[in-house]
Amino acid sequence: MIANPIPWPNGAKCAASITFDMDADSLVHIAHPKDGHSRVSAISMLQYGPKVAIPRIVESYRQLGIKQTFFVPAWCIEQYPQAIEAILEGGHELAHHGFLHEHPPRTFGRARGALARPRHRGDREGQRQATAWLAGAALQLFPPVR
């Protein structure tokens, strides 16, 4: 037993964290950078999240009085602003999830990580703005912990 246990409210014994990843079709574009835009079937399927699921989840959680964290790539913020607005208006938290859902251990060693390099339409300023907007502050990149 812990000598100094955490005093949970109302006699609770633990806490749970509920999170969602809203990756949408960023996964298609990271996996197929040259022709991802032509993979219409996969894109259509993955757009279900931001276009249908997010409004349903936000409304369900409003009814239940639950708040949660949504991990969202910055690319998805640019592509699906209505989903992001619904998340924020519902009082939920946004958490950083890369620019285009990069794999951190594979990318941090390259060009100071995935956020440091433009991927979407070659638009570095748009990428910076989307990421800064998600973070709510200017972006500062850190090297991986070794």
Neighbours of 85 (CB within 10 A): 11
Please give the domain boundaries of the chain with CATH numbers for all domains: 13-135 (3.20.20.370)
Please report where in the chains the tokens 């809203």 appear, as a residue: 22
What is the per-residue pLDDT for 103? Answer: 63
Phi and psi, residue 26, nearest 5°: -60, -30
Please report where in the chains the tokens 């998600």 appear, as a residue: 134
Quickly state the pLDDT bin for 121 (edges 50, 70, 90).
very low
In the predicted model, is pLDDT for residue 75 greater than 90? no
Q: How far apart are the first and last CA of the chain?
A: 32
At 10-62, the pLDDT tens digits run: 888 888 888 889 999 988 888 888 898 899 998 899 999 999 999 999 999 99
